[in-house]
């Protein structure tokens, strides 16, 4: 944040359009420091994950073209796929925590172009909270979806569409469960309960925010995954009967670009949902008014 720039108020009455606008304004004002600190994590992890994803793609191509019997490739596939999933979870936890800690530092007036990860005092605690909240959400949501799906299938397979409806209803509420822990210092359980309650109560605007952010920033991801799709298409149609020395390199580089595309959209999504949470909390609790009263009393 430059000194000559007006500071964005975190808590301020905003409608949906204003929340969306302030999201892009925040990204524009702090783009450099966000990308600098994000790159420290996403580049090394993407370099590692791309290697495992390349192996997954290789097994997939062999299986789809029936060029060989998989045999021990099943083991390699499981190892590579498992490593890919674990790395994706790790980078998601890190980027959620890192982005939220930068937003909190900005609110304190402590975020500028020279800010490093070591300056973000909340980062470590946010990582722990993010991991625990994500773990609880995955267990609860996954278990509930499995039980509900099993019951619906037993009653009638045609009722499975109700599970899809349930996911659509619950997803916006789950998208806010992290932010009370970040910005109010609540415990893991308190954050899940409050975030879910606020997301459910303001389901319409929260769902719309998720959709709009996914579309806008999803374009970046889709553009960066295009090289991988082109390579797979060319490999399947033109190179299926041949093997060249440069194929592993191309597969690795295209997968690397795809990984970076999937990671780079996480911080903007967190920023957008943070301002959605700020707007909801301001509407519910008048945080800015209470803050002004506290400042007045301290005079």
Nearest to 141 by CA among 112, 111, 177: 177
Report the share of the chain in percent with pLDDT over 90.
53
3-state secondary structure of 224: helix
Q: How far apart are CA 144 and CA 251, in angstroms?
A: 38
Judged against a pLDDT cut of 60, whether residue 295 lies above it is answered with no
- Please compute the mean of the pLDDT values over residues 1-18 and round it to a whole number: 79
Please state, in angstroms and rounded to a whole number, the distance separating the CA atoms of residues 40 and 103: 18
Q: What is the DSSP-derived secondary structure letter of residue 229?
A: H
Which of 128-132, 143-147, 184-188 is predicted least confidently? Answer: 143-147
Residue 65 makes CB contacts below 8 A (sequence gap 6+) with 236, 240
Q: Distance from first CA to last CA of the chain, Å, rounded? A: 28
pLDDT at 153 over 70: yes
Report pLDDT for 117: 92
pLDDT on residue 4: 46
The pLDDT of 255-270, averaged and rounded, is 93
Token code pair at residue 234: 């060319």
At 5 the pLDDT is: 63
31-76, pLDDT tens digit by residue? 999 999 999 999 999 999 888 887 676 655 554 444 454 555 667 7
Residue 296's pLDDT band, with cuts at 50, 70 and 90, is very low
Please give the pLDDT value at position 1: 42
pLDDT of 105 higher than 80: yes
Q: Within 10 Å of residue 119's Cβ, how many Cβ atoms?
A: 16
Token pair for 37: 């600190």
Q: Give the mean pLDDT of the chain.
A: 84
DSSP structural state of residue 62 = H
Q: Which residue's entry shows tokens 């995955």? A: 138
Angle at 237 between CA 235 and CA 238, to 5 degrees: 70
Between these two residues, 271 and 76, which has the higher pLDDT value? 271
Rounded to an integer, the average pLDDT of 98-127 is 93
Please give the Cα distance from 43 to 256 (Å, whole number).
Answer: 9
Inter-residue contact 116 to 98 (CB < 8 Å): no
pTM of the model: 0.87
Which pair of tokens denotes residue 57? 């793609």
Stretch 201-227: mean pLDDT, rounded?
92
In a 13 Å sphere around the CA of 104, the CA atoms on its Cβ side amount to 21
> Does 154 have pLDDT greater than 90?
no
């Amino acid at each position: 944040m430059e000194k000559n720039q007006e500071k964005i108020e975190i808590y301020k009455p905003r409608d949906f359009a204003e929340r969306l606008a302030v999201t892009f304004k925040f990204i524009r004002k702090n783009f450099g420091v966000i990308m600098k600190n994000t790159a420290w994590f996403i580049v090394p992890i993407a370099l590692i994950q791309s290697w495992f994803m390349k192996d997954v793609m290789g097994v997939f191509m062999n299986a789809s073209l029936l060029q060989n019997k998989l045999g021990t490739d099943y083991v390699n596939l499981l190892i590579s796929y498992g490593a890919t999933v674990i790395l994706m979870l790790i980078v998601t936890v890190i980027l959620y925590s890192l982005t939220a800690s930068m937003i909190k530092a900005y609110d304190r007036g402590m975020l500028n172009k020279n800010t490093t990860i070591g300056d973000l005092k909340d980062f470590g605690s946010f990582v722990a909270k993010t991991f625990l909240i994500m773990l609880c959400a995955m267990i609860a949501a996954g278990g509930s979806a499995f039980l509900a799906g099993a019951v619906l299938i037993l009653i009638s397979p045609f009722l499975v569409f109700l599970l899809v409806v349930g996911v659509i209803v619950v997803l916006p509420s789950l998208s806010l469960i992290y932010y009370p822990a970040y910005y109010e210092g609540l415990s893991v359980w308190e954050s899940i309960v409050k975030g879910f309650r606020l997301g459910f109560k303001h389901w319409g605007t929260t769902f719309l925010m998720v959709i709009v952010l996914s579309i806008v920033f999803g374009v970046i991801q889709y553009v960066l995954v295009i090289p991988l799709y082109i390579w797979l298409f060319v490999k399947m149609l033109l190179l299926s009967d041949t093997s060249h020395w440069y194929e592993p390199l191309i597969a690795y580089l295209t997968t690397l670009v795809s990984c970076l595309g999937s990671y780079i959209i996480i911080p903007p999504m967190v920023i957008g949902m943070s301002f959605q949470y700020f707007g909801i909390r301001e509407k519910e609790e008048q945080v800015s008014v209470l803050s002004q009263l506290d400042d007045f009393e301290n005079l």
